[in-house]
Amino acid sequence: MNKFLKLLEIINQLCAVFFIEVIAELKRLISRNRKSNKLFLNTKNIKLVALALVVIGLIIGTFLILKSKQQIQLTTTSAGLSEWNSNLENASKHFDALDYDKAFALTSNALEQAKNDGAELQKFSSLELLSRIYNAKGNYLKAAETYKAIFTSLTVLPSSESSTEMATTIAKSLIGLGLLNQNLALYQQAIVSFQLAAKVSKNKFGENSVMHAMSDAYLADTYRLLGKYDSASTLFETSNQHFEQNIQKNQTENIVFSKLLASFYQDLGQYTKAEKLLSESANSITALSENGRHLKLQNDIALALLMLDSGDYKKAESLLQSARETLINTVGENHPESTRVLSYVAELMLLKGSFAESETLLTKTIALQEQLLVLNHPNLAQSINNLAVLNSNLGKFDLAKPLFDKSRGIWETSLGAEHPKVGIGFNNLASSYSTQGMYAEAQKNYALSKNILIKSFKADHPLIATHMNNIAELYRYQGQFLEAEPLHLQALEIREKTLGNAHPLVASSLSNLAELYSAQRLYSQAKPLHDRALAIREKALGSNHPDVATSLNNIGLLLYFDNQYADAQALHQRALSIHETAFGINSSEVATDLNNLALTYAAQRQLDQAEQLLQRAIKIDETLLDGKHPNLATDLVNLGDLYRLKNQNAAAEKLYLRALSILEKALGNDSYFSATILEKLASIYDQSSRKAQAKIYSYKASQIRQMQKITKAL
């Protein structure tokens, strides 16, 4: 303990000068950017500020922990104390009601009165509330300056008896300091602050106190943000025991704790537990009326995020729009919290397939976040990643790749290379590669994603299911059906268990499994899965969502194979309309629709119409996919089949050979799809009396088929 005291004495000598220099540097940065109304906070300087704040917290916390011989003397009059209490109590109520301007005015009056009366404790308490107001308003510089004032107040305290009020204020200040560091994405500094708050609370109030439980809960939440779920779990368990034993007490703290615990459950994929906590909190908040507006806002945002993951997009949209209106009316649009909610609205539009609206919102969000947040903030990375996904969905792969790399780099810097967000970043990049037919690159990035995710989550987590689904799709694209099926079945099982039977991701698993069966001509097994996927998607996403179009296409193909050409044509036409609206007339999805629609025209001997559609599909895929994607090979094969119907075997042969070359480069020489083309070429050669060539190609195809049978038997 003596060594610790000596260390603190040294830190105390350096802290004041260090803090003043950092604040001065921030002021210079603000002055430099004042003309553009931008607060460009250099990450290095922000970290210096937070480190200074942590040092201050260390000194403040130790002051109470060691029960310094210096004591506090209250010199205010009884009347003055009553007026001060009234001002601060009313300020707290206005803070809880999101009336930050009124709260600021009352707190400033209380602070001025405490200074005039020489009441150090009241001054300290006023500064603590003032720092929270600044933090809530997004004015992190002022919050930092107020913590400096708290530090100064503490070090000049005259001798008097240490009080419960002082200990409470110190613990609150340390928690506030931790939350400030969280807002700045400085999580290690936040950990130190919350640990000190826990020590202060334990020494003064005991382990079973609400202040100690809240300190542990905030510490657990910081570990959650860092992806350290085991550390978070232990702390949440101890905190939860306190609140379960005192469920009727400390209502406000109970609501805050429930939100933190719900976020933890959500990260672990335990959505039912999370929703139960947030719903119970919503009921409790209703009873608080205006005094619960701050709590309601945070609870609604948390519930909206849960609804995004749960697939209830209608409820998520309602909650987010309400939260956005509240924030704009209270703190304005150029506020970190407002931009956070705006990013969620943009993500919702992406999930709903409203790509144009999502792009507009994401572009706006990123511009605001670059202005308001530090350079390597995880929230900025999330917005950039979502924009990358959007560009990939739209086939703008050259724009998507640098955005994927940038967002992942920010996550690695701010959260660590093993954080689940980094794993998600690798997964999204892999999916983009897979869409482009770059399967080796996709496989590599999926492996990197898996190595990270399995360290953080159990085998039945929804993110693990997503990884299984994506790997299975990669196998399916390459004709490796035996490898794909068990992964699809496992992914479906996990998703049904964790997300429920009506989630859009369950529909995706059903659709992908059905596609796998269709590729093997197991149409009777595919049909009920496609029907179920369509029903889920239409209910959850609306009738004009791109995923609905995917289901329509899939069912249309089954009808085509069942010789129901007119019905199939109607579904493909509807899918084409949806995709053209969502992606534009030159997207890869539209090319797929054109292919499928052409098949129905060809089957009904409307060959010229079919040829026009296929030529358009080829032109789109040649432009988007650089002439090397298996989708282009499909276009070429379908046009080749059409030419054979028109007795143009020479033209068909050229198309088949080009398609075979694409597939062999993309998938190797022994893929299921290559065997199909070899059989088509053998048929052409046989009909044109090129028997030797026909025999060679037929033999190659039979060898591939035979190897597939052997593999299946094994």
Task: Quick: pLDDT tens for 223-257.
Answer: 999 999 999 999 999 999 888 887 556 688 999 99
Whole-angstrom distance, CA of residue 299 vs CA of residue 304: 9
pTM value is 0.80
Would you tell me how many other CB atoms lie within 10 Å of the CB of residue 655?
A: 25
292: Cα separation from own chain's centroid:
27
Q: b/e per residue, 676-714, with b = 16+ CB within 10 A?
A: bbbbbbbbbbeeeeeeeebeebbebbeebeeebeeeeee
pLDDT in the model for residue 171: 87
Going from the C-alpha of 481 to that of each of 138, 291, 488, 565, 583, the distances in angstroms are 53, 59, 10, 27, 29
The H or E element that residue 632 is part of is: helix 630-645
Do residues 165 and 27 touch, judged by C-beta distance below 8 A? Answer: no
pLDDT in the model for residue 17: 38
Do residues 708 and 479 touch, judged by C-beta distance below 8 A? Answer: no
pLDDT in the model for residue 68: 40
Whole-angstrom distance, CA of residue 553 vs CA of residue 595: 10
Whole-angstrom distance, CA of residue 166 vs CA of residue 322: 38
Do residues 593 and 575 touch, judged by C-beta distance below 8 A? Answer: yes
User: In this model, does residue 149 exceed pLDDT 50?
Assistant: yes
Query: What is the signed CA dihedral for 671, 676, 677, 678, rounded to 10 degrees?
Result: 90
Confidence of residue 121 (pLDDT cuts 50, 70, 90): confident
Digit-coded pLDDT (tens) for 635-661: 999 999 999 999 999 999 999 999 999
Confidence of residue 160 (pLDDT cuts 50, 70, 90): very low
What mean pLDDT do residues 258-287 have? 93
Whole-angstrom distance, CA of residue 520 vs CA of residue 425: 32
Neighbouring residues of 502: CB distance < 8 A, sequence distance ≥ 6: 311, 536, 539, 540
Would you tell me how many other CB atoms lie within 10 Å of the CB of residue 221?
A: 25
User: In this model, does residue 437 exceed pLDDT 60?
Assistant: yes
Structure tokens at 372: 């308001």
Helix (H, G, I), strand (E, B) or coil at 298: helix
Digit-coded pLDDT (tens) for 71-106: 444 444 555 677 888 888 899 999 989 999 999 999
What mean pLDDT do residues 13-26 have? 42
What mean pLDDT do residues 175-196 have? 91
The H or E element that residue 658 is part of is: helix 649-667
What mean pLDDT do residues 678-706 have? 89
The H or E element that residue 11 is part of is: helix 2-33
More confident residue, 701 or 533: 533
Digit-coded pLDDT (tens) for 336-376: 999 999 999 999 999 988 888 999 999 999 999 999 988 88
Long-range contacts of 520-525 (CB under 8 A, 24+ apart): 520/481, 521/561, 523/558, 523/561, 523/562
Whole-angstrom distance, CA of residue 88 vs CA of residue 68: 27
User: In this model, does residue 175 exceed pLDDT 70?
Assistant: yes
pLDDT in the model for residue 76: 44
Digit-coded pLDDT (tens) for 466-489: 999 999 999 998 889 999 999 999
Do residues 541 and 502 touch, judged by C-beta distance below 8 A? Answer: no
User: In this model, does residue 40 exceed pLDDT 80?
Assistant: no
More confident residue, 430 or 142: 430
pLDDT in the model for residue 150: 78
Terminal-residue alpha carbon distance, the chain? 68
Digit-coded pLDDT (tens) for 310-339: 888 899 999 999 999 999 999 999 999 999
CA atoms within 13 A on the CB side of 158: 6
336: Cα separation from own chain's centroid:
17
Confidence of residue 66 (pLDDT cuts 50, 70, 90): very low
Whole-angstrom distance, CA of residue 389 vs CA of residue 403: 9
Whole-angstrom distance, CA of residue 455 vs CA of residue 272: 23
User: In this model, does residue 417 exceed pLDDT 90?
Assistant: yes
User: In this model, does residue 28 exceed pLDDT 80?
Assistant: no
DSSP-H helix ranges across 249-374: 251-267, 271-286, 293-310, 313-330, 336-352, 355-372
pLDDT in the model for residue 332: 93
Structure tokens at 539: 């209910």
Q: Read out DSSP for 17-73?
A: HHHHHHHHHHHHHHHHHGGGT-----HHHHHHHHHHHHHHHHHHHHHHHTT-S----
CA atoms within 13 A on the CB side of 46: 25
pLDDT in the model for residue 50: 53
Type of residue found at 53: L
Structure tokens at 476: 């399916």
Do residues 271 and 499 touch, judged by C-beta distance below 8 A? Answer: yes
Confidence of residue 161 (pLDDT cuts 50, 70, 90): very low
Helix (H, G, I), strand (E, B) or coil at 574: helix
Residue whose C-alpha is closest to residue 383's, from 414, 401, 358? 358
Whole-angstrom distance, CA of residue 337 vs CA of residue 680: 60
Q: Which residue has the tokens 């289901």?
A: 551
What mean pLDDT do residues 267-286 have? 93
Digit-coded pLDDT (tens) for 704-714: 888 766 665 55
Question: Using alpha carbons only, what angle is made at residue 620 by residues 615 and 626, rounded to the nearest 5 degrees?
Answer: 115
Dihedral sign (CA 557, 559, 562, 566):
negative
For the chain, give the percent of residues with pLDDT over 90.
60
Confidence of residue 380 (pLDDT cuts 50, 70, 90): very high
